[in-house]
Amino acid sequence: MALSYGLFICFLLWGGTELCYSQSIWQRGTPRVVMKCLEAQLVVTVSKDLFGTGKLIRPADLTLGPECEPLVSVDTDDVVRFAVGLHECGNSLQVTEDALVYSTFLLHNPRPVGNLSIVRTNRVEVPIECRFPRQGNVSSHAILPTWVPFRTTVFSEEKLVFSLYLMEENWSSKKRSPTFQLGDTAHLQAEVHTGSHVPLRLFVDHCVATPTPNRNASPYHTIVDFHGCLVDGLSDASSAFRAPRPGPETLQFTVDVFHFANDSRNMIYITCHLKVTSADQVPDQLNKACSFSKSSNSWSPVEGTADICHCCNKGSCGIPSRSRRLVGQGQESASRRRRHVTEEADVTVGPLIFLGKTGNPDPDVEESTSSLTSLMLGLVLAVVASLTLANIVLGLAKWRQAAVHSGK
């Protein structure tokens, strides 16, 4: 089975720092990859007999994330170890209602040895996740200090948490499985948890799809651009924002799934730059959610006037008009200007795993089927011709016999 279909999930229970459980990805018997999710560290142990064939892999061919190398080991060790911080090695953080999810991947990228130009093992990319519950923290220690300065309370109340989820088709719940068939539609929901913050409106400023969690990886495909234009809908896709919103702090959109041509990896990651404005601020060219309609050959916004989407055609959405900016500044209070709140963030969802292609017939199969059909048709025609000839010969023989009898 393909190693890239395996997903590792380890849960850190209620503030503990021990391994929840370990399991094999695809191999019965001895686990080939074991991971531990600690309080501030991720530990991954990889068997050198990664494929269970007895042929050992080289530690130099393994990385955690795009570039983190394993710990130094001796030749007698039968495992390769990684020990990294949760925020290192390109780890992406996704915040859900009940968990903090740190995502990365283990990469085995075999390279030729010496002067040889061949490799004898497969390239493998394994998604890895650590989930930490957010329900609470239990401790027997005293709570110190017993008072908190007011300015600290204000800061904690204004902290914004951005998130991006895959949703089921009916938008009622998060998608349980990240697998798709080519031709399916991915339903995505962006959210911001405002806490005690003033009401805010969320926007998806930019989105890009890549074959790895690194948003700067190549190849890439831009889904949303120009401060909220869902440009993926310009192609043969039906990708669009969903209107109306469930609420100002939520924005939903669909993307027709795809894979990168000439790329053997069967997964993609989607990274979106999310941002917020005051809920009572009028949407403008810099803060909008615009979808393209093929039937009307025009752009339309989720909210606001249609003219804010005109810049999507030009591919350049600049600074809004002076009057519109002044309205936003007039609504901003002095206390608001004093706050130091992160009002934008990059959030990654994935991997989206493709199980296969649909509606895409194999030309070799088609050619074989066509040849078989032609052969069968030829055989049928030959049989019909033979039977016809036999009937003619038999008829002539009977006619001749009848003529002889009549002559006598």
What percent of the chain clears pLDDT 90, i.e. is strictly above it? 32
Amino acid 305: pLDDT: 94
Confidence of residue 66 (pLDDT cuts 50, 70, 90): confident
**Which amino acid, 251?**
L
One-letter amino acid of 362 = D
Lowest mean pLDDT among 119-123, 151-155, 298-302, 353-357: 151-155
Judge contact between 108 and 121, C-beta under 8 A: yes
| pLDDT tier for residue 194 given thresholds of 50, 70 and 90 | confident
- Angstrom distance (rounded) from CA 269 to CA 241: 19
Global pTM reads 0.49
Report residue 361's pLDDT band, with 50, 70 and 90 as the boundaries: very low
Q: Which candidate, 183, 184, 148, places its Cα nearest to that of 166? A: 184
Q: Token pair for residue 78?
A: 């039968």
User: What are 206-216's pLDDT values in tens digits?
Assistant: 999 999 999 89
Residue (of 100, 48, 101) closest to 77 by Cα position = 48
- At position 285, the amino acid (one-letter code) is Q
- In whole angstroms, what is the distance from residue 129 CA to residue 178 CA? 13
- The tokens for 143 are 């709570």
Q: Could you read off the pLDDT of 252-297 as tens digits, one per residue? A: 999 998 888 888 888 999 999 999 999 999 999 999 999 999 999 9
Domains and CATH numbers, the chain: 1-137 (2.60.40.3210), 148-361 (2.60.40.4100)
Residue 197: Cβ-neighbour burial (10 angstroms; 0-12, 13-18, 19+) = middle
Query: What was the pLDDT predicted at 147?
Result: 58
Instruction: Please give the structure tokens belonging to residue 270.
Output: 């989607």
Q: Is pLDDT of 53 > 50?
A: yes
pLDDT in tens, 108-159: 888 877 776 556 677 888 888 888 887 665 566 665 655 555 555 555 555 7
Strand order in the sheet with 240-241: 161-167, 185-193, 250-256, 240-241
pLDDT for position 145 = 58
Q: Is the pLDDT of residue 322 over 80?
A: no
Distance CA 47, CA 254 (A): 40
Q: Residue 87 phi/psi, 5° resolution?
A: -100, 10
Alpha carbon 200 to its chain centroid, in Å, reads: 27
Q: Is the pLDDT higher at 361 or at 408?
A: 408
Residue 82 and residue 69: Cα distance in Å, rounded? Answer: 7
Mean pLDDT of 7-24: 37
The three-state DSSP-derived secondary structure of the chain is CCHHHCCEEEECCCCCCCCCCCCCCCCCCCCCEEEEECCCEEEEEEECCCCCCCCCCCHHHEEECCCECCCCCCCCCCEEEEEEECCCCCCEEEECCCEEEEEEEEEECCCCCCCCCCCCCCCEEEEEEEEEECCCCCCCCCCCCCCCCHHHHHHHHCCCEEEEEEECCCCCCECCCCEECCCCEEEEEEEEECCCCCCEEEEEEEEEEECCCCCCCCCCEEEEECCCECHHHHCCCCCEECCCCCCCCEEEEEEECCCCCCCCCCEEEEEEEEEEEECCCCCECCECCEEEECCCCEEEECCCCHHHHCHHHHCCCCCCCHHHHHHHHHCCCHHHHHCCCCCEEEEEEEEEEECCCCCCCCHHHHHHHHHHHHHHHHHHHHHHHHHHHHHHHHHHHHHHHHHHHHHC
Please report the pLDDT score of residue 252 as a whole number: 97
Report the distance separating Cα 22 and Cα 9, nearest Å: 9
CB-based contacts of 161, cutoff 8 Å, min separation 6: 95, 192, 193, 195
Higher per-residue pLDDT: 199 or 140: 199
What is the pairing mode between strands 179-180 and 344-354? parallel
Q: How far is CA 216 from CA 32, 79, 383, in A?
A: 30, 31, 65
Q: How confident is the model at residue 193 (pLDDT cuts 50, 70, 90)?
A: confident
Q: Are 206 and 282 in contact (CB under 8 A)?
A: no
Q: Which pLDDT score, from 0 to 100, does residue 206 have?
A: 95
pLDDT at 27: 44
If you average pLDDT over residues 376-400, what whole number do you get?
Answer: 76
Q: How confident is the model at residue 8 (pLDDT cuts 50, 70, 90)?
A: very low
Segment 327-346 shows an average pLDDT of: 50
